[in-house]
Structure 1
Amino acid sequence: MKNNIIIVIAVIFIGTSCSSQQFISNTNLSLSDKKATPETVSLYKKLNQLTQKGYMFGHQDDLAYGVNWKYENGRSDIKDVVGDYPAVYGWDLAGLEKDSPDNIDGIPFTKMKQFIEESHERGGITTISWHFDNPATGKSAWDNTPNSLKTVLPSGENHQKFTVWLDKAANYLLSLKDKKGKNIPVLFRPYHELTGGWFWWGKGNGTPEEFKSVWKFTFDYLQKKGVHNLIYIYNTSNFSSKEDFLANYPGDNYADIISFDSYQNNDDKQGEKFITEVQNQLKIINEIGIEKHKLIAIAEAGYEAIPDPKWWTGTLSQAIGDYKISYVLLWRNHGWQEKEQKMHYYAPYTGQISAKDFVDFYNLDKTLFEKDIKKN
């Protein structure tokens, strides 16, 4: 089945089946940053090639902690279950803007850097989001005070503060180096879930034009600061049409991967709603990806505490189906939440009810983990 899909998509692009390398050059895939480092260009090409094999599995904060453990060298809940690490590691920059030593999840930035460098050395891929505070109020990213977005534009009262924040992000992103001193490429996902209204940059808290202006300013400013190791990810949450998805899209020259986030909720125990929604959304962004020559991804997904023992092969795998996504990233394994009095995790750990099914998911040809992408 997978080989048939490769041929169909190749025909759409160039009228004949072809090798992965030809596939890249003939789809006009190119990074929006025209000064991107050779390593970043190479990763982008690799991401495209890997879609011919399957999709990568990712996990947020994977190396820092898991259910009932924290900062154990080389440990990962994923590795505990399947003997392999995720292909993609998710991290967050929130806290950097206010000079906190730790990020929003309590991970010291020095440790996060160490984890990024370690996983890169093994062949893993890093993606970074940024739940940064609302610059207009000083409150969290979830403070959706109306019109906060426009205050960071060049004419806004918080523009200078915002550029200082970007300086801090630039310095951190440039500090991520491999053993040869080269900048580690990062899949950068700023202003995520932009179609939801829960963040200060989200829907209803600024106009589409203001959002595009902030995105473009961020892109241009980071380039001005010499940051050329980023692959930019445009990310939404709920949407129902191409127009809806692209309402805030900054343009093909400002984004490299298009994506959305989707979670299964407790009122959908069989996962039917989740499967339908993800399939509908993948259909839409797959069409956009083909038209615009962009890779597509599910940048966040999950079902909290995974109560379904067959969720991986029965629900997630079905939801993705045969769409050629770059990766799917599951959210973090925080463990017990004292305040909410519940367990908060999205990937299995040893003994968890879905762990056996996760091994079956791992063994599928189309799911790619760290060992799979290292071989590529």
Structure 2
Amino acid sequence: MLFISAITFGADYDSIGDSTIVRKRSDLTQKLYDTLLSIKGNGIFFGMQHATGYGVGWQNNNDSCDIEKVTGDYPAFAGWGASVTDCNIAQGEGFEDARYKIKLFHDMGGFNTMEWHADNPFGGNCYWERRHDKTKDVVASILPGGEKHQEFLTQLDNIASFFNSLIDDDGKKIPIIFRPWHEHTGAWFWWGKGNCSKEDYISLWQFTVNYLSDEKGVDNLLYAYSPAKNDSREEYLYGYPGDEYIDVLGQDNYYDLRQDATNMPRFVKMLETLVSIANEKNKPAALTETGAFTIDAKATMPEDNWFTEKLLKLIMYNDKTRQISYAMVWRNGSTSHFHVPYPGHPAVPDFIDFYNHPYTIFMSDMEKYRTKNE
């Protein structure tokens, strides 16, 4: 069964005309969207990037999870990556491993997100400062007519093949919240502000969605838009590709929650702005990336009460900030890079308090939310 979401390019949902193009959502994808909307103001789903596969002091175990080691429970959802530093899905590799991890969370009752730190086709990775050829406008080159367009299509074909292969035991496609081209209001990625024109960035988003949906038949994606930190509605919406291309309005923010941060009020303002825009558009809002950093940007969780006294306190700050549907922290890799406490870390008691708070939703809570829209 397919739920159909009407889309008009260049128009709002409520002004559909002759140019209507339909983007289909599979059954479970629509149910995930409805669940994200229905949870607003009632709780937040908590997730972690690379929740299984590796952690602090262990690796090569797709069933293990540092959060489970600490709480006895899994996060409500997991985030994954499509780039070479992760499963390399964009290059046509790592499908089986990624499918296993995604299906694990789906079968347990949770959901999955996937970002794409796309490599620079002229050499280097996603970071603008590490580019090999400083003369190239990368975004322009991968759009139709550009010299790297066919290479870009090959990667989209690989990504589409992977998403279309995500089938559960009932024969239904597993939904994914897909988050490409994120943090574009910063300048660190080659698709970021100042590294391409606003118009080309919008075209990149629109082409990505149109190609995956219309050309490749991918119908199990919710598309998440997630700028970096910003100070106004106008900054947040810089490069916004249009309501018809976006399903989830997200926000990435580490900086305002770092060690000894003095601008936490800005974090609250960002959440308020995010939720206000999402409510106007009747879309879910989410904190799509965050985590605890030292003052000099090291991911070593320097504050033992970060989860309750920063993250949760600010999410719970007022009726508006509480309306984000989910929040995700980044990965655990080693004792020099981690975003949730591992067994024996002094922040474990605080994280357990965060876990036990009635507003935070982990995997053991998911059955009632998953069946709500069945």
What's the TM-score bracket when you normalise by the shorter of the two chains? 0.7 to 0.9
Deviates further, 226-235 or 152-161 = 152-161
CA distance in 1, matches of 2:62, 2:190: 36
Tell me the residue number matched to 2:328: 329
Q: Which amino acid aligns with 1:113?
A: R
Q: Does structure 2 retain, via aligned residues, the 8 Å contact 1:187–1:230?
A: yes
Structure 1 residues 199, 264: closer, same or farther in 2, change over 3 A? closer
User: After the TM superposition, which parts of structure 1 deviate over 4 Å for at least 4 consecutive aligned residues?
Assistant: none
Tell me the residue number matched to 1:263: 254
Q: Does structure 2 retain, via aligned residues, the 8 Å contact 1:150–1:206?
A: yes
Structure 1 residues 99, 358: closer, same or farther in 2, change over 3 A? same
Q: Which amino acid aligns with 2:117?
A: H
Q: CA deviation at 1:114?
A: 0.4
SS at match of 2:201: helix
Runs of 5+ unmatched residues, structure 2? 1-12, 15-20, 293-298, 370-374
Q: Does structure 2 retain, via aligned residues, the 8 Å contact 1:278–1:320?
A: no
Given candidates 142, 164, 175, the residue that maps to 1:174 is 164
SS at match of 1:258: strand
SS at match of 1:244: helix
Q: Does structure 2 retain, via aligned residues, the 8 Å contact 1:50–1:373?
A: no
Tell me the residue number matched to 2:372: none
Tell me the residue number matched to 1:358: 351
Tell me the residue number matched to 1:92: 81
Alignment of 1:201-280 (within 5 A): 201-223=191-213, 224-264=215-255, 269-273=259-263, 275-280=264-269
RMSD: 2.0
CA distance in 2, matches of 1:212, 1:355: 42
Given candidates 93, 96, 100, the residue that maps to 1:114 is 100
Structure 1 residues 111, 362: closer, same or farther in 2, change over 3 A? same
CA distance in 1, matches of 2:98, 2:314: 31
Structure 1 residues 262, 33: closer, same or farther in 2, change over 3 A? farther
The alignment status of 1:61 with 2:60, answered yes or no, reads: no
The sequence identity of aligned pairs, in percent, is 38
Q: Does structure 2 retain, via aligned residues, the 8 Å contact 1:308–1:353?
A: no
Q: Does structure 2 retain, via aligned residues, the 8 Å contact 1:97–1:132?
A: no
Tell me the residue number matched to 1:138: 123
Deviates further, 221-230 or 176-185 = 176-185
Tell me the residue number matched to 1:25: none
Tell me the residue number matched to 1:81: 70
Tell me the residue number matched to 1:148: 138
Q: Does structure 2 retain, via aligned residues, the 8 Å contact 1:195–1:236?
A: yes
CA distance in 2, matches of 1:264, 1:193: 13
CA distance in 2, matches of 1:367, 1:139: 39
Given candidates 347, 356, 365, the residue that maps to 1:372 is 365
How many residue pairs are counted as aligned between the two chains?
A: 332
Given candidates 169, 178, 181, the residue that maps to 1:188 is 178
Given candidates 342, 353, 356, the residue that maps to 1:349 is 342
Structure 1 residues 264, 352: closer, same or farther in 2, change over 3 A? farther
CA distance in 2, matches of 1:326, 1:316: 14
Q: CA deviation at 1:33?
A: 6.4
Q: CA deviation at 1:98?
A: 6.5
Q: CA deviation at 1:65?
A: 0.8
CA distance in 2, matches of 1:257, 1:33: 18
Structure 1 residues 242, 201: closer, same or farther in 2, change over 3 A? same
CA distance in 2, matches of 1:290, 1:73: 37
Structure 1 residues 33, 329: closer, same or farther in 2, change over 3 A? farther
Q: Which amino acid aligns with 1:153?
A: L
Q: Does structure 2 retain, via aligned residues, the 8 Å contact 1:312–1:357?
A: yes
Q: CA deviation at 1:374?
A: 1.9
Deviation by residue 1:321-352 (Cα, 9 ceiling, x = unmatched):
2421011110000104xxxxxx1000111111
Tell me the residue number matched to 1:289: 278
CA distance in 2, matches of 1:358, 1:44: 28
Q: Does structure 1 retain, via aligned residues, the 8 Å contact 2:247–2:284?
A: yes
